[in-house]
Amino acid sequence: MVNKIYSQKKLSLKPYNTFNIDVQVNDFIKIQTEEELINALQQFPNPFILGGGSNMLLTQNIEKPVFHIQIKGISIEKETEDFVWIKAQAGENWHKFVLYTLNQGFGGLENLSLIPGNVGTTPIQNIGAYGIEIKDVMENCEAIHVKTFKKKTFSNADCKFAYRESIFKNEEKGNYIITSVTFKLTKRNHILHTEYGAIKDVLSQREIKNPTPKDISEAVIFIRESKLPDPKKIGNSGSFFKNPIVIKMKFEKLQEKYPKMPFYELNQEDVKIPAGWLIDTCKLKGYRKGDAGVHEKQALVLVNYGNATGSEILEIAHFVKNEVKEKFDIELEFEVNIF
């Protein structure tokens, strides 16, 4: 027997998305267990899935029923002397989960500290920061099919991870709802990633020569807090644009004109250029139109100063994209999902 799932009617999603966009939904359903999820799918097919609300820009009211995934729980699946496999349910707050693993002495997630959102959405976007992506630490994830209600385990390889991409954004888009993610973390002999200059600088300032995973996390938190706005104070969704990847020949031509252009060589053919630098060089940092704008400290971030609509922020995003295209002949891609 299916237990009846009740929905809240005519609700604003403003408290549930980090851009603080005020859009309305007809049905809002809290999901706290996998059983509730399956029951809800049977009663409310074709839902709109909401986690931490951190990687989205809402431009219109949501006609579909909204499932707010709040499944909680953290458990150790297995461990050896060197490694631990730890499972987190989809509704766990990502940063709190990262801090939990660090407090247990586990390494692997420290570079991903202070990224907003929940655990369940991290594989979809293959979130990354400071040289680490989810694909480097994820063992597998479990998901329920929206039509058959069957649970499937996706291995790391199954997810087809790429830069800010996964199978869940492409061929399986909308077909599965992730319910848990398992990570393989280190218990000792931690592999620390301090190659980014900003991390090195903070560690140097703090006179830390042999950093622990916690030291790295604290450095990342310090860096992020110093240049990224707190969504609780000013609406935003973190980095709005992907860092573009261009072929080496094109980069070398640009470098002749802009010798101070920062870059990261990905391989012999491809170079990644920081989108923030491109936007900043177009003199768009701090650009504002009404309550929508480009953040004054970090050009990658678009912000809602108060009562901007999603459409007004999207208009700013396209303006930025056009300016970068005109100046550098580089096509920026949105990292944030537009609805």
Pairing between β-strand 66-69 and β-strand 48-50 as defined by DSSP bridges: parallel
Environment class of residue 107 by beta-carbon count within 10 Å: exposed (0-12), middle (13-18) or buried (19+)? buried
Task: Tell me phi and psi for residue 26, to 5 degrees.
Answer: -80, -40
54 is catalytic: no
Helix (H/G/I), strand (E/B), else coil: 114: coil
Pairing between β-strand 270-272 and β-strand 245-247 as defined by DSSP bridges: antiparallel
Q: CA end-to-end span of the chain, whole Å? A: 35
Sheet holding 288-289, edge to edge: 235-239, 301-304, 292-294, 288-289
Residue 11: beta bridge partners?
25
Pairing between β-strand 74-79 and β-strand 83-89 as defined by DSSP bridges: antiparallel
**CB under 8 Å to 294, separation ≥6 — which residues?**
279, 284, 285, 286, 287, 288, 301, 302, 303, 316, 320
92, 139, 164, 218: which is the annotated catalytic residue?
164
Please name which of 324, 263, 264 lies closest in space to residue 294, comparing C-alpha atoms: 324
Measured distance CA(331)–CA(322) in Å, rounded = 8
133, 218, 312, 335: which is the annotated catalytic residue?
335
Residue 13, Cβ neighbours under 10 Å: how many?
23
92, 180, 239, 312: which is the annotated catalytic residue?
239
Measured distance CA(285)–CA(58) in Å, rounded = 23
Measured distance CA(15)–CA(269) in Å, rounded = 44
Q: Locate 138 and state its tokens.
A: 């994820």
Measured distance CA(290)–CA(282) in Å, rounded = 20
Pairing between β-strand 176-186 and β-strand 138-145 as defined by DSSP bridges: antiparallel
217 is catalytic: no
239 is catalytic: yes
Catalytic residue list: 164, 239, 335
